[in-house]
């Protein structure tokens, strides 16, 4: 099904598993990195959806890494705006 939710399961350092809904994944050729935008479907104190973004790479397992530059964050925001249309 096309509208089926894609789930990301993160295992935290304390071995606690948490599931997130994947909103979008994309590759940015400028950085040659893959990005993932996801949510736990909770709201912040202002009533806005909590959304997270990381870079990722796959091998035997998938590893998430922090986004490190303002330019990368600007591109993630651009992708979110496209998603909201």
pTM: 0.88
Distance from C-alpha of 60 to C-alpha of 23, rounded to nearest angstrom: 23
Q: What residue spans of 1-85 are helical by DSSP H?
A: 70-84
Reading the block at residue 55, the tokens are 């870079």
Q: SS3 for 84?
A: helix
| CA atoms 66, 3, 77, 46: torsion sign | negative
Residue 3 has pLDDT above 80, yes or no: no
| Overall number of domains in the chain | 1
User: Residue 43 carries which DSSP code?
Assistant: E
**Is residue 33 assigned to a domain?**
yes
- Domain, as residue range, for 55: 22-59
**Is residue 16 assigned to a domain?**
no
Supply the mean pLDDT for the chain. Answer: 93
Distance from C-alpha of 61 to C-alpha of 39, rounded to nearest angstrom: 20
């Amino acid at each position: 099904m096309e509208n089926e939710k894609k789930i990301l399961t993160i295992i935290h350092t304390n071995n606690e598993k948490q599931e997130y809904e994947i909103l979008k994944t994309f590759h940015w050729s400028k950085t040659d990195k893959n990005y993932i935008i996801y949510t736990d479907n909770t709201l912040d104190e202002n009533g806005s959806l909590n959304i997270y973004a990381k870079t990722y790479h796959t091998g035997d397992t998938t590893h998430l890494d922090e986004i490190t530059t303002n330019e990368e964050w600007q591109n993630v925001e651009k992708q979110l705006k496209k998603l909201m249309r």
